[in-house]
Amino acid sequence: MKKSKCGIAILLIMMMAALSLSVWAAPAGKIDTQREVELTVAVLDGETPLVSVPVDIYLVATVDENITLTATDTFAKYNVNIQAKSDAEWKTLASTLEGYVLRDKISSTGSGKTDDSGKLTFSIGQAKLSQGLYLVLCQDHTQDKKNYEAAPAMVLLPGQDATGSEWQYEVTINPKLTSTSIPDQPTTVTRKVLKVWEDEGHTKKRPTEITVQLLCDGEVYEEVTLNQEINWRYTWDELESGHKWKLVEKDQLENYKVAVTKEGVTFVVTNTYKDDTPATPGTPGTPTSPRLPQTGQLWWPVPLLLACGLLLIVFGLVRRRGKKNEA
Amino acid sequence: MMIGLLLIAAALFLTIYNFMDDNRASRSAHGVMDQLREMRPEKESEEDDAASQSAAGEVEVPDYVLNPKMEMPVKVIDGQEYIAVLKIPAFDLELPVLSQWSYPNLRIAPCRYQGSAYTDDLVIAAHNYTSHFGNLKNLQEGDTVILTDMDDNVFTYKVALRETLMPTAVEEMSSGDWDLTLFTCTLGGSYRVTVRCERVRE
């Protein structure tokens, strides 16, 4: 009983420590939680504004004055890491959440379309935005015979200025765009999925298989089970182009956080073990045998046998001659 | 004298056995290579292509680049798992590489002793049959060694060092940060001829 109380106390301390982790280093000091925030999404291809692009934003986590993030009820059920520490991790978080938003048809916190200058500002003429961490999704857009795909983005309101010394309560972001020419004829695309396990020392807790869902324009197109036998990967060939293909891990795995990124045509699904306890050493890669394998044919006795044989024959001949001479 | 003749006969018998065994090993490795060739079309280019472009203009990054820790994919032939094909142009040698080493496996083809081409620490062991690694001692610095995995990713190496290790040098074999290591027994069987290679990156 005493042991279990002690365990609970340790768990609580660990949870409090985890909760108090800040998402950004905060040289800018505390956030003024009373101030209103404003977000402008500027969708521009160089100097060219992209007009009437539908944009949705989703409140993923609230933030307090100490910059502590708390996932909203909608997003708390996903085993993702909202405490990203680098731009790459923020991009990964945005990409992962986009899949769940599309699959689960999550309602947006705000939506609108870009104006003639390619911009859309939230909070003007709409309900006020709360401070927090937002996912920004721009729908695919066609303009000037080009297809545009904007990368999903995470944005914290308020945000820090370039030097990180002050909080900015009016934030503008420029989603990263990828443009492709519209093909004359319908083409096909390939999509691959590759599972990565980041769980060294805990591989015994790894499930033997997981299921991923390929989404076509937000609808489940196909479910595939991945396991060691197929090297934790799968390829879809000849998918129709012109659709938004996304991938999500179907179930939330116990003990693992999930992150989905897209590299070229491949969706990389990384599951990272959540436990902070030190990893037990994995299976050593070096064979335990004290000797290297014996990789030789049995050649060494050949000269030995020949030499001994010849010696004995010579010896025999000498003895026989000696006996003859004696006779 | 009788014993002497018997010993010479034994030497002859052993020699014939060794040649026959070498011949058998050659046939077994070639048989696997034939089946592997049937299973996959010959690649036109042997370039180390880190990324290729699909018809739709999208970049296809090899899986091992995205996850170097992944297991090397295998192809199964006669119940045995093969991870790669090893080519040594200097000897006009092309051999399959088994996923795991064991003494019965070494009689069929070279085997992975440990490591992976994806993490640049692959060590391959083979018997010193002439048709396997018997000529390893004659490889020269700068000679090319090419490894093609079962996804058709091509890894090109140059021989950087040739050394002889003791049979107990287990740690030394895997140390030294070499991208690829090949080893076999010396003719006497007492030492290991070891060839260290560095990967050539385009």
Question: What's A18-181's CATH class?
Answer: mainly beta
Taking the CA of residue B137 and the nearest CA in chain A, the distance in Å comes to: 13
A258-263 contacts, C-beta under 8 A, 24 or more apart: A258/A78, A258/A79, A258/A80, A258/A96, A259/A80, A259/A81, A259/A92, A259/A93, A259/A95, A259/A96, A260/A92, A260/A95, A260/A96, A260/A99, A261/A91, A261/A92, A261/A95, A261/A96, A262/A95, A263/B61, A263/B66
Predicted local confidence at residue A163, as pLDDT: 77
pLDDT tens, residue by residue, B86-97: 999 999 999 999
pLDDT tens, residue by residue, A56-114: 999 999 999 888 999 999 999 999 988 888 889 999 999 999 999 999 999 999 999 99
Predicted local confidence at residue B122, as pLDDT: 96
Predicted local confidence at residue A277, as pLDDT: 54
Range B145-155 average pLDDT = 96
Do residues A135 and A151 make contact, with C-beta atoms less than 8 angstroms apart?
A: no
- Bigger pLDDT: A80 or A161? A80
Taking the CA of residue B70 and the nearest CA in chain A, the distance in Å comes to: 8
Are A265 and B60 an interchain contact pair (Cβ–Cβ within 8 Å)?
Answer: yes
Do residues A191 and A214 make contact, with C-beta atoms less than 8 angstroms apart?
A: yes
Please indicate if any CB of chain B lies within 8 Å of the CB of A286: yes
pLDDT tens, residue by residue, A27-50: 668 888 888 899 999 999 999 999
In chain A, CATH 2.60.40.10 covers 18-181
How buried is residue A20: exposed, middle or buried, by Cβ count under 10 Å (0-12/13-18/19+)?
A: exposed
Give the containing element (helix H, strand E) for A170: strand A170-173
Minimum-distance CB partner of A302 among B11, B71, B192? B11
Phi, psi of B54 (to 5 degrees): -80, 175
Residues constituting chain B: 202
Chain B residues in contact with A180 by the CB 8 A cut-off are: 57
In B110-191, the DSSP E strands lie at: 111-114, 122-125, 144-149, 154-165, 180-185
Predicted local confidence at residue A16, as pLDDT: 40
C-alpha B198/C-alpha B194 separation (Å) is 13
Please report which confidence band the pLDDT of residue A125 belongs to, taking 50, 70 and 90 as the band edges.
low
CATH architecture of the domain formed by B2-199: Beta Barrel (2.40)
Are A296 and B189 an interchain contact pair (Cβ–Cβ within 8 Å)?
Answer: yes
Predicted local confidence at residue B28, as pLDDT: 81
Give chain A's mean pLDDT.
Answer: 84
Single-letter amino acid code for the residue at A89: E
Number of residue pairs across A and B with CB atoms under 8 Å? 166
Predicted local confidence at residue A48, as pLDDT: 93
Predicted local confidence at residue A247, as pLDDT: 97
Single-letter amino acid code for the residue at B18: N
What value of ipTM does the predicted structure carry? Answer: 0.71
Tokens of A73: 């009820």
Single-letter amino acid code for the residue at B69: K
Single-letter amino acid code for the residue at A262: K
Taking the CA of residue B104 and the nearest CA in chain A, the distance in Å comes to: 11
- The Cα-based distances of A230 to A44, A226, B47, B101 in angstroms read 42, 7, 26, 22
Chain A residues in contact with B170 by the CB 8 A cut-off are: 286-287, 289-292
For domain A188-273, give the fold.
Answer: Immunoglobulin-like (2.60.40)
Strands B180-185 and B122-125: parallel
Report the Cα B155 to chain-centroid distance in Å. Answer: 13
Are B101 and A293 an interchain contact pair (Cβ–Cβ within 8 Å)?
Answer: yes
Are B14 and A264 an interchain contact pair (Cβ–Cβ within 8 Å)?
Answer: no
How buried is residue A146: exposed, middle or buried, by Cβ count under 10 Å (0-12/13-18/19+)?
A: middle
Please indicate if any CB of chain B lies within 8 Å of the CB of A305: yes
CA-nearest of A57, A173, A150 to A112 is A57
Range B165-193 average pLDDT = 88
Predicted local confidence at residue A310, as pLDDT: 82
- Bigger pLDDT: B121 or A23? B121
Is A286's pLDDT higher than 60? no
Chain A residues in contact with B14 by the CB 8 A cut-off are: 298, 301-302, 305
Minimum-distance CB partner of B56 among A187, A298, A315? A187
Angle between helices B2-39 and A301-326 (to 10 degrees): 160
